[in-house]
A and B are shown apart, each in its own frame.
Chain A
Amino acid sequence: MEDMKPVPMNKKYFTPVVIGLAVLAVNGIIFLLARFAFGIGAVTNLDNQHPWGIWIGLDVAAGVALAAGGFTTAALGHIMHKDKYHAVIRPALLPAALGYTFVAVSVMIDLGRPYYIWHPLIMWNGSSVLFEVGICVMIYLTVLYIEFLPIVTERFIGRVKLPGILQRFNNPLDKFLRILDKGLEKTMFIFIIAGVVLSCLHQSSLGTLMVIAGPKMHPLWQTPILPLLFLMSAISVGFPMVIFESIITSRSFGLKPETPILSSLGSMVAPLLGVYLAFKIGDMVIRGTFVHLTTITAPSIMFTIELLFGVIIPLRMFMSRQVSKSPAGLLIASFLVIFGVFLNRLNNFLVAYTPPYEQQAYFPSFGEISVTVGFIALEILLFRLAVMIFPIVSVPGVSAQKTKYSVRGGIR
């Protein structure tokens, strides 16, 4: 096998696509400012019937699910110790860290009183599912940052060059980075396992979140096994997300996609999706909710799209050898799984939610969509920036430099 080594990407930052994304990001930020100046009601279509909109249903719920690549690859690479996947761990960790950061930001902007976001840390309510999700996400975000730290130390050890008057801090900072690096190396396994446990906990609890809505939720989705379904769908979407991101990144930076690694990642998707599908259909049969599929309503259509295009078709695709051998096939199949989980969260949090006294249906406002799209754009921009600064994307045999960075010479 070729020797792979993560290196910072060396390319021009601004491309036409990047500029387009920047415009979208700015547009989102403008509406965000309006939300803080004039209140949630001024920017969103939320009301007392629909307390949660796409900022929670998509930015938070789907955001958490689609950041599952972080913990699934960590489990595969570090806990199962499959070394060949090490090349995808960093490219999966970065979007997870970014994704969760934006989940936290999305929660903040959706809160009526964002400045009280620290309240759950000292005001506990053990029976609140949201409390558990909140605490888990807070800790997991910290864990993700800790997992990312070695990348930072690797980038800067022996290379700290502060300008001008700050120069005198160069040596102490370098020393600090080395101590940090050594400490992290010895303790990282604690954080990696913690990250997987925390992920399992809040990925599933995110499903429990809507159970309390009881009859307000459409029976096609309302089931006591929602936490299990959420966990299984999050695990299924982890690898497709990594495959998707990896192929897009490779194209964007003009690299060859790491097809062999991605194919073997893809080969694990079918069983995971299959189990998820079995539980989803089994649940439907046991609770007899398939009767709701015989009438054509918005929920029944959305449920069918979710299951057919988001689970069944990609499952069939991932079972085909032809698909898993070609980057294009992998890209499309992965996209469908991502689409399926995205739609599932949207359905659970918004489509299925039918308030008893509904005067008009909820549809996100232009401002809400702008903020959501703006955040996604911002995430992609930051991802691009990060892979150009930090050694994240692995490139085959770029440098023969085998020495570990920590023995790099200090600054003279």
Chain B
Amino acid sequence: MTNQSRREFLKTTALIGTAVTGLSSKTNGAQTNQLSEDRMGVLVDTTICIGCRKCEWACKTSHEMETAPLDSYDDRSVFNVKRRPDSKSLTVVNEYLNNETSSLPIDVKVQCMHCDNPACVSACIVGAFSKKENGAVIWDGDKCIGCRYCMIACPFQVPAFEFEVALKPDIKKCDFCFERTKIGKIPACTEICPVEAVTFGRREDLVKAAHHKIKNYPNRYINRVFGEHEVGGTSWIYLASKEFEELAFPKLGKDPAPGVSEAIQHGIFAYFVPPIALYALLGGVMWINKNKKIEQGEEN
């Protein structure tokens, strides 16, 4: 090989290499989140929450959903059953007994956690979900086909479907008040909360604040911030006085929720090499077998 041609060869290889990496970052990168350092979050301090459920009312009002008058939210009998967010209420507060440290109950607000690596975004067949720069995970009603795979994927069982709607059912979930934050307002629940149990801020600052609280009040909190690492981190993070699993939080690992699934998927479709290789292999086998048949036929 002459010097010239070797240089040419290297050049071409390098070019192909860049092209492939460029292509790969494009194919794999289309869905990866551009996680902003300044993405927002909410710190929920369940030791402060008094269970007034004003956040539920504010949420419904700001999303123009049907709601009973604010006074009716004083009725604490709803705590007799554990509720889940659904298509008619995007956030709910549940109450748990607190027998160890005090007689006061523990109230836990539940809504979409706005994961940093959301399973719904990875799963959605048409990419109707997206993680926004400000941390919100939102749903695009113009794309959704109503397959409900997001509900299968979500580790927190959050997205809800309008099963009773025949023509154009929606997926409903907390949208982090995307329409409000866009114009500089803070999420409705954090605005109305009378005791600052829910605090809106930069996620990074909130994580620091949470650890600060744990350090300053070690008797008040267990030493864990739920959502700091769970499923790769969530925008909404929680503090509590007892183990989160006892407060009906799901037991989850630290790996991003879509992790294994995406790895398998991208493995099978790595630059389309495996499918094309299989096609070529089968084509080769077919050709060889056909020739064998023809040869045998001639002999006969």
Contacts and interface: CB of A to CB of B under 8 A. Distances in A.
A147 interface: no
Nearest to B129: A125
B31 interface: yes
A228 to B, nearest CB: 10
A46 B163 contact: yes
B163 A41 contact: yes
Contacts of B269: 126, 132
B282 to A, nearest CB: 5
Contact of A80 (B251, B261, B268, B285): B285
B268 A134 contact: no
A66 interface: no
A229 B268 CA distance: 14
A81 B125 CA distance: 38
Contact of A215 (B82, B146, B155): B155
Interface in B228-265: 248, 250-253, 257-258, 260-262, 264-265
Interface stretch (B3-11, B174-182, B286-294): B286-294
A42 B250 CA distance: 30
A254 interface: no
A120 B143 CA distance: 9
A127 B250 contact: no
B279 A48 contact: no
A103 to B, nearest CB: 14
A124 B282 contact: no
A41 B253 CA distance: 33
Given A127-B122, A201-B268, A111 B145 contact: yes
Contacts of A205: 265, 268
Contacts of B127: 123-125, 128
B97 interface: no
Interface stretch (A165-173, A191-199, A295-303, A398-406): A191-199
A116 B248 contact: no
Interface string A36-79: 11111110101111011000000000000000000000010011
A212 B157 contact: no
A116 B168 CA distance: 10
B56 interface: no
Interface string B72-97: 00000000001010110000000000
B27 A215 contact: no
B289 A81 contact: yes
Interface string B260-300: 11101110110000010011001101100110110000000
A81 B292 contact: yes
A129 interface: yes
Interface of A: 36-42, 44, 46-49, 51-52, 75, 78-81, 83, 107, 110-114, 116-117, 119-120, 123-132, 134, 189, 192-194, 196-197, 200-201, 204-205, 208-216, 224, 227, 353, 355-357
Given A113-B169, A200-B278, A215-B252, 15 more contacts: A40-B163, A41-B164, A48-B87, A48-B157, A52-B148, A75-B282, A116-B145, A120-B145, A125-B31, A126-B31, A128-B124, A193-B286, A208-B265, A211-B264, A227-B268
29 contacts: A39-B162, A41-B164, A42-B166, A46-B163, A51-B149, A51-B161, A79-B286, A81-B290, A81-B292, A83-B293, A112-B148, A126-B31, A126-B269, A131-B125, A132-B265, A132-B269, A189-B283, A192-B286, A209-B149, A211-B264, A212-B152, A212-B258, A212-B260, A212-B261, A213-B152, A224-B260, A356-B250, A357-B157, A357-B248
